[in-house]
Amino acid sequence: MPEGYDLRAFDILDSTNVECRRIADAGSSDNVWVVAAAQSSGKGRRGREWVSQPGNLFASLLYAIDCDLATASQLSFVTALAVRDVVADILQAPDMVRCKWPNDVLAHGKKISGILLETAGQGSAAPSHVIMGVGINVAHHPENAQYPATSLTSELGREIDTSFVIERLIHSMDYWILRWKNQGFSVIRQAWKDSAHGLRQEVIVRLQDEEIKGIFVDLDETGALILEFEGKRRHITAGDVFFP
């Protein structure tokens, strides 16, 4: 483990994110990785079910923060870069592993990882921790998902051990968090854009009550997607992106 981190591993949990929240609510001030071989109640963005079959990676990092929530939300992009590096290294295909806004990672255009950012320790005026939940399709992937999916086993054509993947993820996260802390979001933003899927291309963004088609022109200084359509630009902070 990198210095300053603890690891707690379980055969099964309801959710690694929920376990991180329990640790924070118990008063912990540590940075803790929680890993489970399986989850009984895994969740993705917007409360969607995250299918949690044994053989895939389910991990969450409980990370102590001393910044405002807007700054802490940048850790979603930090996590995406860390996951992207791990998957690209394992597949030996850096050009084929890309980041998808807001917090997915694709391999050969298919979803191989999802990230869920939450806060914890809200007994005081501001949350004390951010929880970075990571799911990586290692052994298998859903066949009828909202977005086409894949797994490391499918891409490699052979089995791979989750302990090998989590070890790499822990060290990759440590590297990118240090870059974020020492160099700021501008470095993270540029690195994310360099590996972004669909940048400067036509995309479809589904919001809660509307669907917009336009050009994904940039990522702004807060991490919002800048969409150009009908001669105007709109900064979108939450939504689902699809590619025509």
pLDDT tens column, 192-219: 999 999 999 999 999 988 999 999 999 9
Calculate the CA dihedral of residues 96, 147, 81, 215 and round it to 10 degrees.
80
- CATH number of the domain bearing residue 48: 3.30.930.10
Q: What is the model's pLDDT at position 123?
A: 57
Q: What CATH number is associated with residue 231?
A: 2.30.30.100
What is the total count of domains within the chain?
A: 2
> Can you tell me the distance from the alpha carbon of 142 to that of 193, in angstroms, rounded to the nearest whole number?
27
Q: Considering the chain, what percentage of its residues have pLDDT values greater than 70? A: 93
Are 184 and 225 within one domain? no
242: left (phi over 0), alpha (psi -120 to 50) or beta: beta
Say how far apart CA 189 and CA 221 lie, in whole Å: 8
> In this structure, what DSSP letter does residue 152 have?
H
Same-domain pairing of 236 and 173: no
206 and 126 share one domain: no
Task: Say whether both 104 and 14 belong to one domain.
Answer: yes
173 Cβ neighbours under 8 A, 6+ residues apart? 61, 78, 79, 82, 132
For the segment 8-20, the average pLDDT, to the nearest whole number, is: 94
Between the CA of residue 19 and those of 3, 123, 132, 211, what are the distances in Å? 22, 17, 12, 35
178 shares a domain with 224: no
For residue 127, the model assigns a pLDDT of 79
110-169: pLDDT as tens digits: 999 999 999 987 655 577 899 999 999 999 998 877 789 999 999 988 889 999 999 999
Average pLDDT for the chain: 91
Contact criterion met (CB below 8 Å) for 207 and 229? no
Domain's final residue, options 171, 194, 217: 194
70 versus 85: the higher-pLDDT residue is: 85
Residue bearing the bigger pLDDT, 68 or 46:
68
Question: Is the model's pLDDT at 50 over the cut of 60?
Answer: no
Residues 37 and 137 in one domain: yes
Which stretch of DSSP H or E encloses residue 130?
A: strand 129-136
Q: Say yes or no to pLDDT of 51 above 70.
A: no
Q: Which of 175, 194, 213 is the last residue of a domain?
A: 194
Q: Is the pLDDT of residue 18 over 70?
A: yes
Using an 8 Å Cβ cutoff, are 217 and 200 in contact? yes
Structural domain including 141 reads 5-194
Q: State whether 124 and 190 are in the same domain.
A: yes
What pLDDT is stored for residue 183 in this prediction?
97
Average pLDDT over residues 67-96: 95
The residue that leads in pLDDT, 159 or 106, is 106
As a dihedral over the C-alpha atoms of residue 215, residue 221, residue 222, residue 225, rounded to 10 degrees, the angle is 0
Single pTM value for the model: 0.92
Q: Specify whether 43 is located in the same domain as 164.
A: yes
Segment holding 72, helix H or strand E: helix 69-72
Shared domain for 70 and 182, answered yes or no, is: yes
> Is the same domain home to 183 and 233?
no
Same domain (yes/no): 39, 101? yes
